[in-house]
């Protein structure tokens, strides 16, 4: 048994802070708000990419989908709801959208049954894992998986977009999560070449598609 691989597509996308698409987030920031595929012990950092800019925007803006119960409470208090056009543009203002060319390196397809079993063995877990365990809101399993895949010398993890699936179970959006070689090296384990970098807020069509998907 071994991890199942997924090929990286020729182009991958990122919406993130700063205009360097290959820059990893500073460690101090990661520690205050770690992401799904960040190592539990912060021995390395993970760069978050996706199959399209729309997927990136879905992941970036998903937190703004209004909770009906909260909206009802605020309306009952006579409060105004936020202007979503402004909220979205503010949320994206400090961010950049990037296209990156890849060398088609292979990443571990962690949701694949074979990879899940391999992870179970390496993590010495008794119970079998479902794909959903890696996409759950609780990040313990995916963060542990990132550490184990990294220790195996692999370049990163490919997985369905957990955020997109939570909104629409039929989503086929995919994320590519690429490790840096060593902590603070700022070098990804995959050969990546930036193609275009633009302010995120200028990507009107992709933003509109993401907002349509999220219904915000």
Partner 1 sequence: MHESARLREGLDREAVLSRLDHADRLGIPEVVRDLVDWIGLGLTAMAGGVNETRFVRLWIEGKRPRRPASLRAAWRAAYVIKALCGGEAAKAWFIGQKREFDFQSPIRVLQENTDDARTAIVRAAVRFATN
Give the residues lining the site for partner 1 (CB under 8 A).
16-19, 23, 25-26, 28-29, 32-35, 48, 62-67, 69-71, 73-74, 76-84, 86-88, 90-91, 93-94, 137-139, 162-163, 166
Give 186 or 209: the residue with its C-beta nearer to partner 1: 186
**Cβ 197 to partner 1, closest distance in Å?**
12
Whose CA is closest to 55, among 162, 168, 173? 173
**Least distance in angstroms from the C-beta of 151 to partner 1:** 24
* Residue among 29 and 193 whose Cβ is closer to partner 1: 29
Q: How far is CA 124 from each of CA 23, 116, 144, 149, rounded to the nearest angstrom? A: 33, 12, 12, 14
Find the shortest distance in angstroms from Cβ 107 to partner 1: 20
Smallest distance, partner 1 to C-beta of residue 80, A: 7
Nearer to partner 1, 37 or 150 (CB): 37
Task: Identify the CA nearest to 159 among candidates 205, 112, 208.
Answer: 112
Residue 4 or 141: the one with the smaller Cβ distance to partner 1 is: 141
Cα angle vertex 136, ends 131, 30, to 5°?
A: 120
Q: In the complex with partner 1, which residue's Cβ is closer, 65 or 112?
A: 65
Shortest distance, CB of residue 152 to partner 1, whole angstroms? Answer: 25
**Side-chain-side CA neighbours of residue 180 (13 Å):** 20
DSSP three-state, residue 94: coil
Which residues have a Cβ under 8 Å from the Cβ of 140 and sit 6 or more positions away? 40
SS (H, E, C) 2-14: CCCEEECCCEEEE
């Amino acid at each position: 048994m071994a991890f199942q691989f997924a090929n990286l597509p020729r182009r991958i996308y990122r919406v993130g802070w700063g205009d360097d698409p290959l820059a990893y987030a500073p460690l101090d920031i990661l520690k205050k708000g770690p992401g799904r595929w960040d190592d539990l012990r912060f021995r390395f950092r993970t760069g978050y990419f996706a199959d399209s800019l729309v997927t990136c925007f879905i992941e970036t803006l998903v937190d703004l989908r209004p909770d009906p119960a909260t909206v009802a409470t605020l309306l009952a208090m006579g409060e105004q709801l936020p202007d979503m056009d402004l909220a979205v543009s503010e949320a994206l203002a400090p961010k950049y959208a990037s296209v990156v060319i890849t060398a088609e390196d292979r990443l571990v397809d962690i949701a694949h049954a074979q990879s899940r079993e391999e992870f179970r063995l390496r993590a010495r877990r008794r119970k079998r894992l479902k794909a959903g365990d890696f996409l759950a809101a609780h990040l313990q399993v995916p963060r542990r998986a990132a550490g184990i895949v990294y220790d195996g010398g692999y370049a990163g993890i490919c997985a369905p977009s957990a955020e997109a699936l939570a909104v629409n179970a039929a989503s086929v959006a995919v994320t590519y999560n690429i490790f840096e070689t060593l902590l603070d090296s700022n070098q990804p384990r995959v050969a990546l070449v930036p193609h275009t970098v633009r302010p995120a807020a200028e990507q009107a069509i992709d933003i509109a598609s993401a907002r349509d998907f999220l219904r915000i």
